[in-house]
């Protein structure tokens, strides 16, 4: 094949690709109002929604998506109750509180029952305290009420590589927690005070959500994990049970004799139907995971159980 034919073929393929992308946009479902499509998991009758909080507490677009699902559930009169399934070791302090606030607002308007999965600890448990009731598998890992921060020190590595970093600053603490040098005692005290505020907020959320004295919540908040069975005995959860039990209870609180458990899913346009959620070979998911890992190298406060993995 000569050069002209190669150029013509490439041009043709580009035109086809642009046409598919354009058609995909034209035929994509309306998302302006943030509507999610529904898929039925089981049952018949009025709708009970399953919200899933899996893996690390979401950030950025994933957080926006989760909050938009909560908002749609709250605004849709056809959603009679909600069950929140939590299988998460936690995550960022700010994101966790944003999720808790949205769920608490939902719980004031409709029955919300939480179901704790394999690991529902730290920020995962924090989110669950927004529910009216909490069901947990007896062997679940939960609790881990506390705050943690990791600060990688890269100065030694840079020295080995022969890299010197000169920091220019105005403000005594401007390069605090940069990882380029150890913390001074004064800087450590500042950060510890910040962590104390986040810790006290967590303890207060537990006390409020579980209807227990603040003193008892403090006694339970030493960072340890509890089994689901222990959590029920200590008042951190209401009953042993699984997702279906929690869904049944949510329907009962809504006064439903029968119910249909549904889940939200993203609407797909034509392009999404053709290519799926992600490009071939899992490139997007692998790249995203790498970027999330690298992002954790900065200092940040987390409600996270490290037994569930640092990343």
Cα–Cα distance for residue pair 88/123, rounded to 1 Å:
8
Q: What is the pLDDT of residue 166?
A: 72
DSSP 173-200: TTTTT-SSSPPPHHHHHHHHHHHHHHHH
Q: Does residue 206 lie within any of the structural domains?
A: yes
- CA 138 vs CA 129, 133, 169, 241, 281: distances in Å: 18, 16, 53, 7, 38
Mark whether 68 is an active-site residue. Answer: no
Q: Does residue 98 lie within any of the structural domains?
A: yes
Q: Does residue 10 lie within any of the structural domains?
A: no
Q: Does residue 291 lie within any of the structural domains?
A: no
Q: Does residue 120 lie within any of the structural domains?
A: yes
Domain that holds residue 133: 33-268+299-307
Q: What is the mean pLDDT of each run of 10 residues along the chain (311 residues)?
A: 62 62 49 75 96 95 97 97 97 97 98 97 98 97 94 72 76 80 88 95 98 97 97 98 97 96 82 49 48 58 77 44
Catalytic residue (one of 169, 172, 174, 266): 174
Catalytic residue (one of 56, 88, 115, 122): 122
Q: Does residue 188 lie within any of the structural domains?
A: yes
Residue 67 sits in a domain whose CATH number is 3.90.226.10
Mark whether 268 is an active-site residue. Answer: no
Q: Does residue 102 lie within any of the structural domains?
A: yes
Q: What is the pLDDT of residue 57?
A: 96
Beta strand pairing status for 239-240 and 133-136? parallel
Q: What is the pLDDT of residues 35-72, one digit of tens each?
A: 899 999 999 999 999 999 999 999 999 999 999 999 99
Cα–Cα distance for residue pair 228/120, rounded to 1 Å:
10
Both structure tokens of 268: 């797909």
Q: What is the pLDDT of residue 128?
A: 98
Total count of domains within the chain: 1
Q: What is the pLDDT of residue 27?
A: 47
Q: Does residue 252 lie within any of the structural domains?
A: yes
Q: What is the pLDDT of residue 1?
A: 54
């Amino acid at each position: 094949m000569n050069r002209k034919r190669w150029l013509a073929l490439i041009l043709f393929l580009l035109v086809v690709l642009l046409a598919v992308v354009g058609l995909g946009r034209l035929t994509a479902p309306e998302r302006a109002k943030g509507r999610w499509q529904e898929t039925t998991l089981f049952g018949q009758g009025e709708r009970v929604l399953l919200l899933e909080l899996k893996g690390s507490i979401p950030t950025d677009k994933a957080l926006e998506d989760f909050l938009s699902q909560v908002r749609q559930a709250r605004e849709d009169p056809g959603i009679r109750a909600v069950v929140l399934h939590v299988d998460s070791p936690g995550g960022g302090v700010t994101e966790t509180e944003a999720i808790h606030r949205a769920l608490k607002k939902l719980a004031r308007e409709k029955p919300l029952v939480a179901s704790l999965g394999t690991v529902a600890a730290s920020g995962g448990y924090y989110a669950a305290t927004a529910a009216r009731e909490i069901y947990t598998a007896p062997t679940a890992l939960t609790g881990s009420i506390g705050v943690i921060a990791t600060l990688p020190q890269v100065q030694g590595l840079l020295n080995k590589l022969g890299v010197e970093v000169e920091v220019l600053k105005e403000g005594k603490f401007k390069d605090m927690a940069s990882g380029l040098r150890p913390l001074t005692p004064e800087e450590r005290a500042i950060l510890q005070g910040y962590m104390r505020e986040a810790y006290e907020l967590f303890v207060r959320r537990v006390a409020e959500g579980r209807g227990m004295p603040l003193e008892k919540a403090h006694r339970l908040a030493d960072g340890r994990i509890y089994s689901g069975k222990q959590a029920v005995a200590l008042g951190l959860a209401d009953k042993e049970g699984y997702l279906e039990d929690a869904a049944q209870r949510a329907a009962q609180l809504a006064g439903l004799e029968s119910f249909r458990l549904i889940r939200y899913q993203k609407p797909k346009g034509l392009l999404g139907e053709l290519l799926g959620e992600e490009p071939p070979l899992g490139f997007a998911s692998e790249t995203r995971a790498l970027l999330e890992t690298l992002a954790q190298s900065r200092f940040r406060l987390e409600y996270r159980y490290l037994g569930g993995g640092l990343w």
